[in-house]
Amino acid sequence: MSLELKANAFQETAISAIGDIQLQTALDRGTTNSVNGRIRAMSEAEVTDAAALRAQARAAKLRALRKLPDLLEQFEAKVTARGATVLWAEDAAECNRHVIDIARRHAVKSIVKGKSMATEETNLNHALEEAGLKVVETDLGEYIVQLAGETPSHIVMPIIHKTREQVRDIFVDRLGMAPSDSPEEMTKFARGILRQEFLNADMGINGANFLLAETGHAVIVTNEGNGRMCSSLPRVHVIVAGIEKIVESVEDFGTLVQLLPRSGTGQRLTVYVHMMGGPARPTDPDGPEHMYIILLDNGRSRIRETDYAESLACIRCGACLNICPVYQNVGGHAYGWVYSGPIGAVVTPLLNGIHNAAPLPHASSLCGACKSACPVDINIPDMLLRLRGDLVKEGNTPRTLTAGIKAWATTMQSPRLYALAGGAAKVATRLARGKDGMVHTLPGLLGNWTQQRDFPPFAPKSFHQLWKERQSGS
């Protein structure tokens, strides 16, 4: 499993995704169910004042980002006092090094992992395997992705790109399951295997949905229960969390934890809300002997100082992916990195350098559905627009387009040139008309228009002309 950045191949991957009927079936089902679930869970019948709740959540996240350094130190002090160790990781390599060092220190051989996007970001599994360690994903979707040698294609639903039949084939081929299409049968089978992995593991690794500064707890919201097995069965427990997961107070957490499941899976609350605040105490019946929390920066502090700081308010619910008509058609792998959909189109260029993800800010019609679905009201279209501006400023744009835009700007600043250009386009489009009155083929870049749809010819007289005639006639 490799997580090399392939965002610059967006268009090619998107085109093959659009033609992949199985993928389209899977995406359609997954995104439709999630969108409907969110709309129901955020409806008036469910939430007294959804707008107020969103505003409160947004304020909580933005405040936490403003106070980030202090809150992280507060978190560290609280959780350290209960016997956990906090480690700071400047980048992906440092994060992975920390985990490997911990594994060596405690003679770890076998690792179980709960769902974590931060460790996808650092490509941790690859680093652990290189270091000779065995690592097993235990979130069912992530387990399937690992078996298939793939990467997750959605923040919340890693295998949204797979149909049930494809999952069956993976289980049959890789694990020797007796063929069955029943999700219950398949889950039961995987559960049997994973149970043994939990019992054998020396180390568990989790991500975090929230870090509570007030109390020093890391929180995960999950449905499968695998996360708490990872945190409580093995003797060593490691949490890897992006620094932007910090929230100031239990009250803020109370606001956000209402919105994350509602926005992500359409649930009022996930099956488990699991709070982790340190290793086992002498009186505890179970729990890890050692607990480490790695706080991952990996570019976040830098983004926090820019106009794109708001992107760090994301709570990774996936609502913007589900509602996005681009994501619905191309899926997550087209975005070529860990985070996909509208928020991925913003954070992938920010975290990896804009030239390494140049198509992503353009992979949007700017319809605004992402912003309207976002539980913390992140202005994604505005950030995409500003990233496009950055690409132009840095010269990362086709020369022909730049020439075209400059000609357009010159024309539009002069009513006389505007009328002349309109007249020329009128003649050209009227000559290009087919028998049915529409234009079916256009030259150059405009050929990309007629590749997909017909074009109407310009009118015989512009409104400017009609208005002049009307004024002189009256």
Partner 1 sequence: MTTPHERPSVQGKRASLFVTCIVDMIYPHTGMSTVEILERLGVSVDFPEAQTCCGQMGFNAGYRDEAKAVAKQFIRAFGDSEVIVSPSGSCVAMVRDYYPQLFRDDAEWEDRALAVAARTWELSEYLVDGLGITDVGSKLPAPHTAAIHDACHGLRGLGLKQQARTLLSHVGNLTLIDLNGADQCCGFGGLFAVKMPEVSGAMLRDKVTNITACAADLIITGDASCLTQMNGGLHRAQSGKRVVHLADVLAGKVE
Binding site for partner 1 (CB under 8 A): 11, 14-15, 18, 325-326, 328-330, 361-369, 371-372, 385, 387-392, 397, 401-402, 405-406, 408-409, 411-415, 418, 422, 425-426, 436, 438, 445-446, 448-449, 451-459, 461-468
Strands 210-212 and 217-222: antiparallel
Minimum CB–partner distance for residue 382 and partner 1 (Å): 8
Per DSSP, the residues of 281-292 read PTT-SS--SEEE
In terms of DSSP H, where are the helices of 88-235? 92-105, 117-121, 124-130, 140-148, 164-175, 183-200, 226-232
CA–CA separation, 364 and 169 (whole Å): 34
Q: Which is nearer to partner 1, 81 or 408 (CB)?
A: 408
CB of 3 to partner 1, least distance (A): 23
Residue 100 or 363: the one with the smaller Cβ distance to partner 1 is 363
What size, in residues, is the chain?
A: 474
- In the complex with partner 1, the residue whose CB is nearer, 282 or 460, is 460
Minimum separation from the CB atom of position 119 to partner 1 (A): 30
For residue 210 the two structure tokens come to 């929230």
* 98-121 b/e (C-beta count within 10 Å ≥ 16 → b): bbbebbeeeebeebbbbbbbbbbb
The residue among 271 and 420 lying less far from partner 1, judged by its C-beta, is: 420
Candidates 262, 271, 255; CA nearest to 220 is 271
Q: For residue 21, give both structure tokens.
A: 């009927």
Q: Of 52 and 403, which CB lies nearer to partner 1 in the complex structure?
A: 403
First-to-last CA distance in the chain? 74
Radius of gyration in angstroms for the set of CA atoms belonging to the chain, rounded to a whole number: 26
Q: Is the dihedral of CA 229, 293, 280, 248 positive or negative?
A: negative
Nearest CB to partner 1, comparing residues 32 and 196: 32
In the complex, minimum distance from the CB of residue 219 to partner 1, in angstroms, rounded to a whole number: 32
Torsion of CA 166, 172, 178, 182, to 10 degrees: -20
Structure tokens at 209: 């949905």
Nearer to partner 1, 234 or 332 (CB): 332
Burial of 194 from C-beta contacts in 10 A (0-12 / 13-18 / 19+): buried
Number of Cα atoms under 13 Å in the Cβ half of residue 258: 20
CB of 258 to partner 1, least distance (A): 24
Contact of 62 with 310, CB cutoff 8 Å? yes
| Closer to partner 1 by Cβ: residue 93 or 425 | 425
Distance CA 55, CA 216 (A): 25
Determine how β-strand 110-113 pairs with β-strand 210-212. Answer: unpaired
Q: Which residue, chain included where needed, has tokens 């409160």?
A: 56
CB of 462 to partner 1, least distance (A): 5
C-beta closer to partner 1: residue 9 or 392: 392
At 103, give phi and psi (nearest 5°): -60, -45
